[in-house]
Structure 1
Amino acid sequence: MNESYDYIVVGAGSAGSVLARRLSDDPGVSVCLIEAGGSDASPRVQVPAGTITLYKSRRFSWNYHSTPQAGLDGRSLHCPRGKALGGSASMNSMIYIRGFASDYERWAAAGCTGWGWQDVLPYFRRSEGNRLGQDPALHGQDGPLQVDRPRDPNPVSRWFVEAGRRLGLPVNTDFNGPSALGVGVYDLTQRDGQRLSSYRAFVAPVRGRANLTVLTGVEVDQLWMDGASVKGVQLQAPAGGAPRRLQARREVILCAGAIGSPNLLLRSGIGPRAQLEAAGVPVRVDLPSVGQNLQDHLDGLVTVRSRSPLTLGFSLGSAWQVLSAPLRYLFKRKGWLSTNYVEAGGFACTPLSEGEPDVQFHFVPGYRSHRGRLFEWGHGYAIHTCVLRPRSRGALRLDAQGRLALDYNFLSDPQDARVLIEGMRLARKILADPVFDGIRGPEMLPGPQVQSDEDFLANARAHAATVFHPAGTCKMGVDAMAVVAPDLRVHGVSGLRVADASIMPVLVSGNTNAPCIMIGEKAADLVRAAWGRTATA
């Protein structure tokens, strides 16, 4: 007999965990939260420094790879996505950035009624439990998601802030305040020095609720449909077993992310007719825009070698720091294991800016490999620079064999390259400040030989990568390219919504975890209102 719930939420990541928590606040409904990954109860997940071990993990990551990128010398880029309770919030760097108010005003101007800055700000405040005494008009104090400073920032991260200040960038103590411009130490989603994913913040405290079922290690194969109506989900059959179906008496909400959600729509026959037919997928709803509008932040690296064990790294000089790190973390929540690696950063305007920051910096007080390795012997420091509002658009599709094909189409718009080049020049100027003289070594990337625009462009094509912020593939709006309406219902389909980064019509100017949590908060109210329930308090 089929199992039945009022709501089925697919994906226990940043948005899905919030949505499951808020919907299950109503004891009169039943909620099933489905996560293809497993438990997050691992030191690799909960200890901040463990994040670097997760990116290529078979257990904790969907290790997607892009198609060869024409704009990046034909390279295929690795795209890790979280595969555990908490989703990508169980493997990210925990940075709490909302994006700019102007981002959401652009959403509203594009026809996404109810998604302007003043519309979404209450949802950011609802989720946040701010521990920093920041402006209560902009920050929530009592929400489940604790926002705090890193416990023990590396001194070199402070030097980065000072170097940025001397270059003319203001020191910013709240990147989610009135202005994001400037440099500073990032606020993090942590509690007691440990990672605080949306699952840990929202679902774990209420997992014992009788009306909330959490399934792990279960992958949704496709949507269970009757014509253009979604009745539930069909789970991937175990070896030698029969598929299992779960019924949604009210709605299914996809929260599987900017790659997972459109992929599931396509596998279920919702997408461009010609593409589905070529892949051998029966067409349920011809929706040409599914998988289109893919955006991500393209990243350029300036990385410098150093002999100083003050920076993070493995060497004989750092042996004591490394060996003592477990005890320091266990008893004080300090030391090397407390780092999220990108402790500091900021936002800056290049000469190409149109009045607001167009690049973001992520400073690492450790050596980032010029060869793309996770670990390199020795020390150094680095700045990652990303293009905040890329113009290039890619797509996600099924190929003729029905396999996922992910094409970022990076640098297809030449303006992105121009902004990246100017941003990397700024990063290099910050690292040239005398504050670093005592630990300075050779610049490994892009390298001192890279000076002209042509040199920088060649470097970007050879080395630029993604910051892991995919978005936009189930675009929200009312135009021909929209997949979901402003109430997040999928166009042409009943009983189905999408609520995650895929619905962003335009990528936000910054890290995407906090915006996805906001999307989950607002989605819960939209769903409850549609069924005559009171909005979450």
Structure 2
Amino acid sequence: MSGGAAQAGEFDYVVVGSGAAGAIVAARLSEDASASVCVLEAGPADGHPYLKLPAGFIKVIFNPELAWQFGSEPTARTGGRRIPLPQGKTLGGSTSINGLVYNRGQREDFDGWAALGNPGWSYDEVLPYFQRTEAFVDGGDPALRGHNGPLKVTLPHWPHPVCEAFLDGAAELGMPRNPDYNGAHQQGVGYFQRTIHRGWRMSTSKAFLHPAAAGGNLKIEVNARALRVLLDEGARATGVEYTQGGATRVVRARHEVIVCAGAINTPRLLQLSGIGDGEKLRALGIATRMHLPGVGRHLKDHFSIRLVAQVRNAVTINEMARVPRLWAQAFDWLRGKPNILELSPSVVHWFWQSRPGLDRPDLQGVFSPASYREGYVGMLDVFPGMTCGVWQHRPRSEGSVELASADPGVDPVVQPNYLEDEDDRRTLIRGVRIARELLHTKALAPFRETESMPGAQVQSDDEILDFISRYGVSSYHLNGTARMGPAGDAGAVVDAQLRVHGIRGLRVVDASVMPEITSANTCAATMMIGEKGADLIRVTAR
């Protein structure tokens, strides 16, 4: 313990991070009235109005007070650019700032996790945890969907002629409409399911954490940044040292410390605690408590690219988001009428194969009757626009998160190595060609003015790859940096019960533990990990 650190109490469980998994873990553990739980959240409370309004996404994701502003290291594959990698830093974590899409992934993803030596993680075994979390308001097969969970999931009820034309155009290319991509199969096109209900964002803090806090046995500490996990001489986690209000404090855990800080901050905290690659830790002057070279390795993400076309004969979100039309949208929001303030950034999905012969989709696409300047999320174009984006479901390229310094205040070095693998490049090039076909269907012709990104002059594979390198961005789906695997797997960090190998009383429960990236946005699977992780912890306590 650092000299002068104040004691901040003792609890049965200390949870570091209140995001997609952390809020659920804390809430579920606190259901036992005899258990005491403390949550440490590095950011502030989630009271900012933009955290409640779905359209507020564009205002908060690059706000350093509410999101960690990490970035990738530049490479030639990303045009020498540093790719922004914001991560939530408020109650609810990234569920308070993300794009609100609810997307579980494919059955084969989770069966693959189990096949890698992780019993209990097959699709049939994790399905009940997906169902426990959600209340899908708009139907769905009750054998596959949840309808009684705390998290409301809905479809957009916002008719727009350009969206319908896009769906009709997809049918021209043989893509069937799929009413529920979280149901029996994923392939096809349709409207995204979102964590939005009655005009409001449904974060895990709103759905789980705040209701649980009313029970009296859950303490939430905000602006409390974890510095390191404390370990006794027997390699057992005993608590967490953190800073709050300029003071260093210590909170003790009688049973377990559960790290739920996300795919960047979780490996950083483990490494700062002496858990990681011993040689690299020693080089930074950090004493090695457990040599686990997999900590910070196996980082994966979805690298996405968006194509933009100018629109005619329709009013798009670009115009609706500017006054005076914006005033009308706000009035509709107040009246509970369809409006752009309660939309997710991507309205329509498409899941498809990059080439014939594949047995399941390896591409995910998005569509919206809106466009961002230079294809980047941040500022809408001044002209009427529509966007069709795409990423590869299961990239082979992988990277790392490594400490740059033993100083907890210094950001780690994050290197996803986007497009390093040749197959990733080929797949994404094919994805761009399919996205372009979707923008040039007969059904969309009445609304399509001209393609502005990348433009008709970009045709060859090399030209498309150059476009991807210069304008591709993260999908903010980072995972795998404390991956699950058996003790004989040299790169594994946690076992199938999410216990850190070689350390007692310490678990990781977040996207870091994913053995492989899901064929989907990763938030829903991370919430499932939180539900299952809480059960694993409760079983141990009995």
TM-score class, shorter: over 0.9
State the partner residue of 1:364: 368
* 1:188 Cα offset (Å): 1.1
CA distance in structure 2 between the aligned counterparts of 1:488 and 1:144, rounded to whole angstroms? 24
CA distance in structure 1 between the aligned counterparts of 2:314 and 2:45, rounded to whole angstroms? 35
Please list every run of 5 or more consecutive structure 1 residues that lacks an aligned counterpart in the other structure.
533-537
* 1:68 Cα offset (Å): 1.1
State the partner residue of 1:459: 467
CA distance in structure 2 between the aligned counterparts of 1:361 and 1:518, rounded to whole angstroms? 23
The question of 1:392 aligning with 2:436 is answered no
Q: How does 1:260-275 map to 2 (within 5 A)?
A: 260-275=265-280
State the partner residue of 1:337: 341
Name the CA shift for 1:2/1:88 in 2 (closer, same or farther; >3 Å). closer
Q: State which of 237, 250, 258 in structure 2 corresponds to 1:253.
A: 258
CA distance in structure 2 between the aligned counterparts of 1:58 and 1:333, rounded to whole angstroms? 33
TM-score, normalised via structure 2 length: 0.94
40-49 vs 24-33, which moves further: 40-49
CA distance in structure 1 between the aligned counterparts of 2:351 and 2:376, rounded to whole angstroms? 24
The question of 1:510 aligning with 2:515 is answered no
State the partner residue of 2:4: none
Retained in 2: the 8 A contact 1:10–1:33?
yes
State the partner residue of 1:200: 206
Retained in 2: the 8 A contact 1:315–1:378?
no
CA distance in structure 2 between the aligned counterparts of 1:353 and 1:28, rounded to whole angstroms? 55
Please list every run of 5 or more consecutive structure 2 residues that lacks an aligned counterpart in the other structure.
1-6
Q: State which of 524, 531, 534 in structure 1 corresponds to 2:534.
A: 524
State the partner residue of 1:355: 359
Spell out structure 1 runs of 4+ moving beyond 3 A. Answer: 400-403
The number of residues matched between the two structures is 529
The question of 1:95 aligning with 2:87 is answered no
State the partner residue of 1:490: 500
The question of 1:383 aligning with 2:391 is answered no
State the partner residue of 1:210: 216
Name the CA shift for 1:71/1:3 in 2 (closer, same or farther; >3 Å). same
SS in 2 for 1:436: coil
CA distance in structure 2 between the aligned counterparts of 1:307 and 1:269, rounded to whole angstroms? 58
Retained in 2: the 8 A contact 1:72–1:462?
yes
CA distance in structure 2 between the aligned counterparts of 1:309 and 1:354, rounded to whole angstroms? 37
415-424 vs 70-79, which moves further: 70-79
CA distance in structure 2 between the aligned counterparts of 1:119 and 1:441, rounded to whole angstroms? 49
The question of 1:105 aligning with 2:111 is answered yes
SS in 1 for 2:211: helix
SS in 1 for 2:18: coil
Retained in 1: the 8 A contact 2:96–2:203?
yes
SS in 1 for 2:100: coil
CA distance in structure 2 between the aligned counterparts of 1:294 and 1:373, rounded to whole angstroms? 23
Q: State which of 15, 22, 25 in structure 1 corresponds to 2:28.
A: 22
Retained in 2: the 8 A contact 1:306–1:380?
yes
Q: How does 1:62-461 map to 2 (within 5 A)?
A: 62-227=68-233, 228-236=235-243, 238-239=245-246, 241=247, 243-307=248-312, 310-314=315-319, 319-351=323-355, 354-370=358-374, 372=376, 374-375=378-379, 376-399=381-404, 403=410, 404-461=412-469
Retained in 1: the 8 A contact 2:272–2:406?
no
Residue identity (%): 38
CA distance in structure 1 between the aligned counterparts of 2:102 and 2:195, rounded to whole angstroms? 6
CA distance in structure 2 between the aligned counterparts of 1:320 and 1:366, rounded to whole angstroms? 17
* 1:306 Cα offset (Å): 2.8
Q: Which amino acid aligns with 2:168?
A: E
Retained in 2: the 8 A contact 1:421–1:457?
yes
SS in 1 for 2:459: coil
**C-alpha distance after superposition, 1:444-466 (max 9, x if no partner):** 22221111111111111221111
**C-alpha distance after superposition, 1:138-166 (max 9, x if no partner):** 01111111111124254322222221122
* 1:87 Cα offset (Å): 0.6
SS in 2 for 1:290: coil
SS in 1 for 2:253: strand
State the partner residue of 1:535: none
Retained in 2: the 8 A contact 1:304–1:443?
yes
